[in-house]
Amino acid sequence: MAPHGDRSTTGIGSARIDRRTLLKSMGVGAAGLAGIPLLAACTGGSGPSGSASASTSLTFGSGSSDDVPKAAYKAVTDAFTKKTNIAVATNVVPHNDFQNKIATYLQGSPDDTFTWFAGYRMQYYAGKGLLAPVDDVWEKIGSNFSGAMKKASTGPDGKMYFVPNYNYPWGFFYRKSLWAEKGYAAPKTFDELKTLCAKMKTDGLIPIEFADKDGWPAMGTFDYLNMRLNGYQFHMDLTAHKESWDQKKVSDVFDTWRALLPFQNPAALGMTWQDAAISLGAKKSGMYLLGSFVTQQFTDAATLADIDFFPFPEIAMEGQDAVEAPIDGLLLSKKGGDNQAARDFMAFLGSADGQNAYAAVDASNIATVKGADTSKFSALNKKCADTIANAKSISQFFDRDALPAMANNVMIPALQGFVKDGTIDVKNLESQAKALYAAQ
């Protein structure tokens, strides 16, 4: 939600809407059809045509608005146009706006194909009938992907809806030279993490760089603490509301997190993830829990080469087996389903050529296709890829595994409140979850 997003590729933004408005926008009735200028497909182009094969253009909606992923998707569209002579009109929307208004976008005048995420956040809109299936695309590209990627791309009806582009692990990122200078070592356990934080604080550093102005980044900390304490399956059951929020297992997550609050950046609620990345790059902070997309912010080659990461330490269950590694890619809008050019574009992104074009500009993420060019992988890229490949369980991130309304309307303000003063009301979380999941 990235994505992010998402983070800027993966999470959701901080805009808040009341529950009634959110539920109306999540439906498919006329109430959700109000135009949102930012998300209107302002590029003109390829509406449904009588002959899909005759289409020579498509519109592409992108929430990848940060400079690096924006340039990377331009490289993809340029390569596709060069190969096919099909014109792509791209509509780039600020990331958080794109995420927060996606339901209205899909019910209005969406682009043919658009950036989005795997997991429940894809399945939800597929279940609402707002997406077009792409089984025919998968007949062409299916052999390029693992079984896990295919599963993540499948809708609730068993049809294919998503074409993965890349994924990226979340972990603690840090400057190697700073750690060498201070004599720090990567912690394997939570107690070692707390000890390291205390040492960093005495050394005058912000131990854990943290930013939550946009609301979604804190979800990464919650997810890891939950999986490390209660296991991957509990994370999945909680986000699906098969488990109650009002229980000791959930309270334990926040009780454990409180031990880290004194070590996180106290200015977090006023900072974006990009702001925090600058602080890490400047060696003002010791480490930063985020996705590998954090490296997009390090444009200096020497700084980028100085970045490393370690997995979230083990606490109680499953060691470090579970990894947050959200998958970003493309969906086809219901309108775009009539445009063969849009399907051709998705097939291109599901090929080594398409993903190599993206990765040549944005090296912070890991391509999902078999046969992608790894010859230029940095040591950090290889470590990210190995971390994902060796994980026994991969989560998509809270705002992708959970009901959109639960993530946006409930968890963002709840986690921001917790970061601010360390208080949380799990009974209220459960009350809201019951209402929202019952209403879907």
pLDDT at 36 over 60: no
151 in the same domain as 83: yes
Strands of the 206-209 sheet, one edge to the other: 206-209, 285-291, 170-175, 307-310
147 in the same domain as 203: no
Cβ atoms of residues 213 and 271 within 8 Å: yes
Q: Considering only residues 14 and 271, tell me which one the structure prediction assigns the higher pLDDT.
A: 271
CB crowding 86-112: b at 16 or more within 10 Å, else e: bebbbbbbebbbbbbbbbbbbbbbbbb
- Of the listed ranges 234-243, 255-264, 315-324, the least confidently predicted one is 315-324
174 in the same domain as 162: no
Query: Does 426 reside within a domain?
Result: no
312 in the same domain as 333: no
pLDDT at 12 over 50: no
- Please report, rounded to a whole number, the percentage of residues in the chain having pLDDT higher than 90: 75
Q: How many domains does the chain have?
A: 2
Query: Does 3 reside within a domain?
Result: no
The pLDDT tens digits for 43-59 are 333 333 333 445 799 99
The domain boundary residue, chosen from 275, 299, 324: 324
280 in the same domain as 176: yes
CA distances from 22 to 103, 252, 358 (A): 9, 30, 34
The pLDDT tens digits for 129-140 are 999 999 999 999
Query: Does 427 reside within a domain?
Result: no
231 in the same domain as 280: yes
Report which residue type is found at 285: S
Query: Does 361 reside within a domain?
Result: yes
Instruction: Name the residue range of residue 226's domain.
Output: 170-324
Q: Considering only residues 30 and 338, tell me which one the structure prediction assigns the higher pLDDT.
A: 338
pLDDT at 269 over 70: yes
pLDDT at 38 over 90: no
306 in the same domain as 248: yes
384 in the same domain as 273: no
The domain boundary residue, chosen from 300, 324, 348: 324
pLDDT at 163 over 70: yes
pLDDT at 25 over 80: no
Written as six digits, the tokens of 191 are 């107690």
Residues 152-156, mean pLDDT to the nearest whole number: 91
59 in the same domain as 82: yes
Query: Does 1 reside within a domain?
Result: no
54 in the same domain as 185: no
305 in the same domain as 174: yes
Query: Does 52 reside within a domain?
Result: yes
Listing DSSP states for 139-180 in one string gives HHHGGGS-HHHHHHTB-TTS-B-EEEEEE--EEEEEEHHHHH
Among 398, 414, 426, 419, which residue's Cα sits nearest to residue 170?
398
Q: Considering only residues 285 and 296, tell me which one the structure prediction assigns the higher pLDDT.
A: 285
Query: Does 401 reside within a domain?
Result: no
Written as six digits, the tokens of 58 are 């498509």
Query: Does 269 reside within a domain?
Result: yes
Listing DSSP states for 384-431 in one string gives HHHHHHH-SEEE--HHHHS-HHIIIIIIHHHHHHHHHHS---HHHHHH
368 in the same domain as 308: no
Provide the pLDDT for residue 54: 55
Residue 25 belongs to domain with CATH number: 3.40.190.10
Non-local CB neighbours of 427 within 8 Å, separated by 6+ positions: 246
Residues 81-98, mean pLDDT to the nearest whole number: 95
Report which residue type is found at 195: T
The mean of the pLDDT values for the chain is: 87
The domain boundary residue, chosen from 324, 344, 367: 324
Confidence of residue 30 (pLDDT cuts 50, 70, 90): very low
pTM: 0.79
